[in-house]
Each structure stands twice: as C-alpha cells, then as structure tokens.
Copies of this chain bind each other. A is one copy, B any other.
C-alpha cells in the first residue's frame, strides 16, 4: 500500500489508459483536480481550465476519465481511501475514550494535511450532488460506523461504557461531534462559525487541546460507566 494519491482507490472511476501513464503525472492530475474541486465546488469547476492547469490537453483528460463526474468521484474515492486508512489505524482495544480521542486528533491532523479533501467531502454532501454521491455508497461512513460498533462492543465488554447505552444513537451523536469538529478546521464558513459559537475575540485562536478535551469529556460523561 502506498501513500501516493491515486495509487489505489480510483479503480472504479478512471479508464485503463490512466493506469498506463507515469505515476507522477497521474498524481499531479489528481492533485490539480482536487485543488480545483475544493476551491470552486464540483459545479463551478470547468474541465477545460482544469486540464490547462494540469498542463494536459482536454483530449488526454477525457481519455483518462469519461466525464467530469468520474474525475470528481475518483478524487472523492482517493479521499475516502486516505481517510479510511487513517481510521483503520485506531485500535478499539486501546479503550473507548482513548480511541475516540485518537479519532478527534486524526480529524484535526487530516484538516491540516488534506484540507482539500474535507472541502470536497462537504461539497459532495450537498443536495445538488446527491445523484453523484449515491454512486459512492457512503464507503467512508461504513468504515466509521464499523469502528464505533467495535468501540462500543469492546467498551461494554470491559465495563468502560454503561451497558444501557444505545450504541447506534450514541455513535451517530459522537460522530456528529467529530464531523463538525473537522469541518471547523477545513473551510472558511465553519471556521467563522466556530469563532462565533465559542465567543472568540478577534486575533484569539481556538485552543485545540481544550476543545478536544471538552468533546472527550462530553463522551465520557454521556456514555462512560464511571463518570
């Protein structure tokens, strides 16, 4: 397994010709596509300008991807793969709240390492994109849901989690905190919203550590067996 974007995950959405070109060129095309889609959103991204910025002809681009849709899906798919790989590093055996805190810090790091992925992900969740998003079948959500399932199972078995907790509802609520936490570091709108909601004054920065501690404390008090 390689960390190179495009090394895997695009198997469904590109044409075979894309596999045959130089890996660096492949990665570069995907990087340019990611940057364009992230900055402008899917609908406002022009395929001609994208090809120009990647330094390739529009003919070449269409020989690699059948449509703008397919290129977008390829980018999203790489993103799901990348974030899914990060998530799979979390071991529920470390304990429920340690795992949950890892997830938050991974979300925080992902916002810095892959800011564009988060912006594209958010764009893909809008209603105008629903027909496109349906083709992706919520792969990342399935990975996350499975992690929570294992975390709650282990947490109840070890006595860390109250036995009466509804794991499905609790997983949904906890992951909602993670998603909005991640959004808050990924886009201008959500950054502003975090500043307004937390009451930060101008020039003051959010203290990541205190925010993570607040969210983990919420999880512990809400679902922990020994609050």
Chain A residues near B (Cβ < 8 Å): 38-44, 119, 122-130, 133-134, 138, 141-142, 144-145, 148-149, 166-173, 175-177, 179-181, 184, 186-190, 192-194, 196-200, 210-211, 214-215, 217-218, 221-222, 227
Contacts and interface: CB of A to CB of B under 8 A. Distances in A.
B221 A197 contact: no
Contact of A199 (B145, B180, B194, B198): B145
Question: Which secondary structure characterizes the binding site on chain A?
Answer: helix
A22 B180 CA distance: 42
**How many copies of the shown chain assemble into the complex?**
2
B197 A141 contact: yes
Given A180-B180, A218-B173, A221-B221, A125 B200 contact: no
Given A42-B43, A173-B215, 11 more contacts: A41-B127, A43-B44, A123-B127, A138-B196, A141-B193, A145-B197, A168-B200, A169-B214, A171-B197, A177-B177, A227-B227
